[in-house]
Every structure is written in structure tokens, then in C-alpha cells.
């Protein structure tokens, strides 16, 4: 299996983008000297890279990971110093950019898996909770530390609360306690714990690569539509519409015909709908 660096024309300072010959993309945080802390440059680069990966037909799924000992220590100290000097409108614009990053990752049209090692603090939890799946090493540690600084985990809160639930969010957002990988597993922030992240996520990646790209994209959209948990006439109508539409789509037809003809579906030759 070969891997190549891509999007080099962007001259990214804080991230690396790679893709292997199976179509597995890697979006790599690369500010090892500051434990991959976020600043405005990294956030802008991540937004740009997500857009590029989303529109790259070679990319079938995306791994979000980090070089170095830690996934991310959260907000960069120099970036935070700038925020202190900003007025309300500047702070709002700054927060809106981070919100766009989280939303873009959450709504990324292809499956995403986070690889987490070391510290994952503050905004890093937002990135993890925006990914469809996440794996972590046993020594990983997590923290929603904002209240220690007189702040709140506002921009990441929709994704963190969705992942770990309201009750657990009350505890860990209010106490700013550090918690372990095992606790993160219990809280549904991560799905698997193990020493070798690549090996740990491999079965997930293999399963994802075998599936219909359109089917997985539509699944993500369907799940987002059902987040409120409310079941009413509109919900039932939406789900019926979705299954009817995908049955008559090119990938839906290919998948069903391949099943009945006892052959592998050829997703690569099917035009997306």
C-alpha cells in the first residue's frame, strides 16, 4: 500500500494531507512543537483541506489524526492572547470560523475516523465528536477545561453533548476533570481502545471501503435528520422518501442487482446521483 502527500499547492503550515492507493485520506495535525494546539491558521487550513477532500473523487473515507505525542492540547496560547484583545465583533467572527470547521467536519460527505493519542483537550474533543468513529490509545486523556479559564466549551458543545449526553456533559463541562480513554469509551466519545490505532481502525476502514459511497453519505444525512429523536408524520414521510429515492438511484440499482446476481458491486463505475 502506497501513500502520497496531496494538496501541496496550498502550502499548508500546520497540517499534512495524504491519501493511499485504496482511497483512504489522512488529515494530519502537524504542530508537534505546541502539541497540535489550534490557532486561526490551523483552523483555516483544516476548513480548506476538508473542502478539498470532500471534492476529491479519489478519497473514499477520511482519517483525522495527529503527529507527535498528543492529538491536540486545545487552543493555542498565543491565539488566546489575541482573543483577549479582540472586541465582541472580532471574537464573534473568530468563533464563527471555528464553528464552520466543526460543522464542515460533522457534515463531511464521506465516513470519518479519528485516531487519538495523548491529550485531547478543549476543541480537540469537538473534532473527535464530529467524526463518525473514533479510536484511542489506552493512555489518551480527555478534558473540557474551558471553565478553568472562565470560558465555556460553546462552539463544540452541540457535538460533545450529542456524543456523551446531557448528564455526563453537566459533570465534565462543569468540573473540567480529566478523564481516561476507558471513561471516554463509556461516554461514547470513542469506539475502541488499543495500542495500535491503525490496526484498531482497520476493520472499520475495510468495512467502509466495501460499502456504497452514496449509501453512506445518505446514511449520515438521515442520522442528522433524526437527531431530535422525535417520531412524527414528517419523520415517517422523510424516511419513506429517502429509501424510495435511493432504491431508484444508480448506486441503489447497482447494489441490488449485484446482490441478486451474486457479484461484487462496482461502485467506481457508477455515476453518483
CATH number of domain containing 239:
1.10.12
Pair (163, 247) in one structural domain: no
Q: What per-residue confidence (pLDDT) applies to 149?
A: 87
For range 92-114, the mean pLDDT: 96
Pair (148, 21) in one structural domain: yes
Domain residue limits at 96: 3-208
Residue 148 has pLDDT above 70, yes or no: yes
Residues β-bridged to residue 24: 61
| Structural domains of the chain, count | 2
How many residues are recorded in the chain? 273
Residue 273 has pLDDT above 80, yes or no: no
Positive or negative: CA dihedral 146, 65, 42, 128 = negative
Pair (113, 238) in one structural domain: no
CB atoms within 10 A of CB 111: 23
- Tell me, what CATH number does 175's domain have? 3.90.226.10
Among 48, 46, 50, which Cα is nearest to 25's? 50
Pair (22, 151) in one structural domain: yes
Pair (229, 135) in one structural domain: no
Pair (204, 217) in one structural domain: no
Among 37, 95, 111, 105, which Cα is nearest to 71's? 37
Pair (133, 239) in one structural domain: no
- Percentage of the chain beyond pLDDT 90 is 76
In a domain, 88, yes or no: yes
Pair (131, 184) in one structural domain: yes
Residue 4 has pLDDT above 90, yes or no: yes
For range 217-235, the mean pLDDT: 87
Pair (185, 259) in one structural domain: no
Is there a contact between 116 and 135 (Cβ–Cβ < 8 Å)? yes
For range 110-127, the mean pLDDT: 97
pLDDT (tens digit per residue) in 49-59: 999 999 999 99
Pair (151, 257) in one structural domain: no
In a domain, 152, yes or no: yes
Pair (93, 204) in one structural domain: yes
Among 59, 158, 44, which Cα is nearest to 112's? 59
Pair (138, 195) in one structural domain: yes
pLDDT (tens digit per residue) in 237-271: 888 888 778 878 888 888 888 888 989 898 754 44
Average pLDDT, the chain: 92
Amino acid at each position: 500500500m502506497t501513500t502520497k502527500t496531496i494538496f501541496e499547492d496550498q502550502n499548508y503550515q500546520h497540517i499534512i494531507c495524504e491519501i493511499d492507493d485504496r482511497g483512504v485520506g489522512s488529515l494530519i495535525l502537524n504542530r508537534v512543537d505546541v502539541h497540535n494546539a489550534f490557532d486561526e491558521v490551523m483552523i483555516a487550513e483544516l476548513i480548506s483541506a476538508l473542502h478539498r477532500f470532500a471534492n476529491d473523487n479519489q478519497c473514499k473515507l477520511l482519517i483525522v489524526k495527529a503527529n507527535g505525542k498528543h492529538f491536540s492540547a486545545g487552543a493555542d496560547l498565543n491565539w488566546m492572547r489575541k482573543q483577549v484583545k479582540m472586541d465582541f465583533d472580532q471574537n464573534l467572527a473568530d468563533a464563527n470560523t471555528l464553528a464552520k470547521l466543526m460543522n464542515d467536519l460533522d457534515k463531511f460527505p464521506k465516513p470519518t475516523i479519528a485516531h487519538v493519542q495523548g491529550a485531547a483537550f478543549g476543541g480537540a474533543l469537538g473534532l473527535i465528536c464530529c467524526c463518525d468513529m473514533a479510536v484511542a490509545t489506552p493512555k489518551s486523556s480527555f478534558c473540557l477545561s474551558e471553565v478553568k479559564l472562565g470560558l465555556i466549551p460553546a462552539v463544540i458543545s452541540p457535538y460533545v453533548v450529542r456524543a456523551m449526553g446531557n448528564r455526563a456533559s453537566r459533570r465534565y463541562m462543569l468540573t473540567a476533570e480529566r478523564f481516561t480513554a476507558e471513561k471516554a469509551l463509556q461516554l461514547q466519545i470513542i469506539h475502541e481502545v488499543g495500542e495500535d490505532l491503525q490496526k484498531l481502525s482497520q476493520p472499520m476502514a475495510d468495512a467502509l471501503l466495501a460499502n456504497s459511497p452514496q449509501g453512506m453519505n445518505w446514511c449520515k444525512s438521515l442520522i442528522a435528520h433524526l437527531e431530535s429523536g422525535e417520531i412524527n408524520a414528517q419523520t415517517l414521510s422523510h424516511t419513506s422518501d429517502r429509501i424510495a429515492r435511493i432504491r431508484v438511484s444508480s448506486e441503489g440499482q447497482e447494489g441490488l442487482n449485484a446482490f441478486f446476481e451474486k457479484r461484487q458491486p462496482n461502485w467506481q463505475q457508477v455515476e453518483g446521483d
